[in-house]
Amino acid sequence: MANATTSDVIAFIEAYAGVVAEHKRELTKLDSAIGDADHGENLDRGFKAALERMPGDDATPAEILKAVAMALVSKVGGAAGPLYGTAFLRAAAAIDGREELDTAGIVEALDAGLAGVISRGKTELEDKTMVDAWSPAVDAAKESLEGGAECSEGLASAAAAAEEGMKATIPLVARKGRASYLGERSAGHQDPGATSTYYLFQTLADMAGSDG
């Protein structure tokens, strides 16, 4: 794949906003089992707001991600808005000033986003959160990049790892967020945030795969 330009980053945000809208009910249903039944609505509201205030393609990729972060932080209450907001903000900082992103740059942004969630959420692996999908996805992307894989291949393996991580949240007992209030009763349900994170990586993989 050629380097990702600002237009590609905008196209990614548009695509992910569409995926979130499409899966809004499913995400909210997952949250109704172990939370307060708003995860789909929260993200849908946040990404719709992000689309409304999207800068033009004369902005840098970092400026696009920063605008998304601001929309998420200001429009989405609860845990996931500020957490995804922090992720997009940290991702923006990691690629600040660059006009285009090569594969390594994309992975840097994803890695910085993960670090943002972890520091803001004080999250560890197996807390039954979005980190359980995000962290293995970044590991898989790094590993395939180091092995010399193409961007599309690296992002496909990241999405596969995110999906596996998402499914692996099912048996876990939540230690963070609202689901943790349920204690042992949170086991047996897939984490909504890990699910929306899987969709994020799947959207990236689909985009990278479709333009070669």
Ligand X SMILES: Nc1ncnc2c1ncn2[C@@H]1O[C@H](COP(=O)(O)OP(=O)(O)O)[C@@H](O)[C@H]1O
Binding residues for ligand X, rule: CB under 6 A, are 31, 35-36, 38-39, 42, 78-80, 83, 117, 121, 123, 129-131, 176-178, 191-194
Our CB check for ligand X shows the closer of 153 and 191 to be 191
Provide the minimum distance between the beta carbon of 172 and ligand X in the complex, in angstroms, as a whole number.
11
State the minimum distance, in angstroms, from the CB of residue 74 to ligand X.
15
Per-residue contact string for residues 11-40; x = within reach of Mg ion by CB under 5 A:
--------------------x---xx-xx-
**HEC string for 19-51:** HHHHCHHHHHHHHHHHCCCCHHHHHHHHHHHHH
The C-alpha atoms of residue 17 and residue 38 are separated, in whole angstroms, by 16
What would the DSSP string read from start to end of 83-121?
HHHHHHHHHHHHTTT-SSB-HHHHHHHHHHHHHHHHHHH
Nearer to ligand X, 103 or 135 (CB): 135
Q: How far is the CB of 66 from ligand X (least distance, A)?
A: 21
The closest alpha carbon to 16, from 113, 135, 124, belongs to: 113
User: Strand, coil or helix: what is 127?
Assistant: coil
Q: Which is nearer to ligand X, 45 or 66 (CB)?
A: 45
